Structure formats: structure tokens, C-alpha cells
Amino acid sequence: KTLNPQWREQFDFHLYEERGGIIDITVWDKDAGKRDDFIGRCQVDLSTLSKEQTHKLEMPLEEGEGCLVLLVTLTASAAVTISDLPVNSLEDQKEREEILKRYSPMMMFHNIKDVGFLQVKVIRAEALMAADVTGKDLFSKSDPFCVVELNNDRLLTHTVYKNLNPEWNKVFTFNIKDIHSVLEVTVYDEDRDRSADFLGKVAIPLLSV
């Protein structure tokens, strides 16, 4: 019930291209019991922003009224990676030996903040719920993608369209800052015209791994 909302939320995105990218932001009016109403959108071209500096942006909303106020910072980070499943550093014997040495008991107090790292292989999902119904024969499908979250790190797979048994075959690597953290893996159905539909979620405490 406001036209001047303040969210004060922080999101971390990881870029894998030096030249930057485009952040597409949409604003919606939440309606209980029916489809949310579209309010407007804006795009942030990261290639126009200097690095290691916080930029305050006031972005006019296209296809709507008002503006969105953002603080955007581009900074270097090597803590999180995404790769295809065959490219797995733990299968390299030399890499494995270096990791075992890095986290050996003798190195325990070398870097207190370096607790360890977590590698998650997102292979596939099976028998997902059909979120979309299309066509005269009411063919049911979903366009699933997977979101992997650990603390403030949030990584996504690509979308597999029209499939209830998608295969992603991705490897996500996170730095662990707190062994009491919980890994959250959520599957969504992509909808280009509105927010994604929830298909399911699992939560895995790191202490159980």
C-alpha cells in the first residue's frame, strides 16, 4: 500500500565476461489470489560503470511511471565459479593434492576465514510438476531452471524448455565462510511475461555433508 517503497535488499551477481553485461529489472504490483500486475522495467548496462566504485543510479521505469534507485558496485571476486560437468577440478589428481594440502591440519590457522569450499554438481531433475498448459490438446510442460544458493551467493543454471525431466550438467563452486550455512537448491519454471513459478526446493545443511 505504497507508491514509494523502500526495500533495502542486497543481491550478489557473478559475471563471467570482462566487458560486463545487462541487468534487467522489473517491478510488479503483488495481488493476492490473482496474477501480479506489471509496473515497469529498466536495464542497467554494466559496461558503462567503472569498477571498484559504488554508483548510485536513478533509473526511470520504462513502460510505466516512476524510477528505481539502485546502488551498484562492480568488484573483483574469484570465490564462485560455474562450469560444465565434465570440467571438474576434483577429478584432477594434482588439483586434489593441492586442495588436501591447503586444508590440512597444519594449515588450520594459516587463514582463519578460509574454511573450505563446496562443489555442487547439478545433474538433472525428474518428474517435475507441469506449470504451463498450452495448445488445443492441453499439452502440459515446464521450462525449468535451477537456482543454487549459499549465504549471499546465488547461481543459476540455464533453462531447459518444454521438459519435465531436464538435464543441466553444471558444476557450481562456492567458498565456505560458515560451516553452519545451509545450501538451498530451488527449481523454477521460467515465465517471460511474469515472475517464475516455484516447482520445488531442497535445503541441505553443510554439517550434514
| pLDDT over 80 (residue 14) | no
Domain residue limits, the chain: 22-74, 81-208
pLDDT reported for residue 137 = 47
Nearest alpha carbon to residue 2 among 32, 30, 25, 44: 30
Output the pLDDT for position 32: 80
Contacts of 200 (CB under 8 A, 6+ apart): 128, 129, 186, 187
* Structure confidence at residue 9 as a pLDDT band (50, 70, 90): confident
Mean pLDDT of 137-158: 83
| Distance (Å, whole) CA 33 – CA 165 | 29
- pLDDT score at 125: 96
CATH 2.60.40.150 fits 81-208, yes or no: yes
Which has the higher per-residue pLDDT, 41 or 175? 41
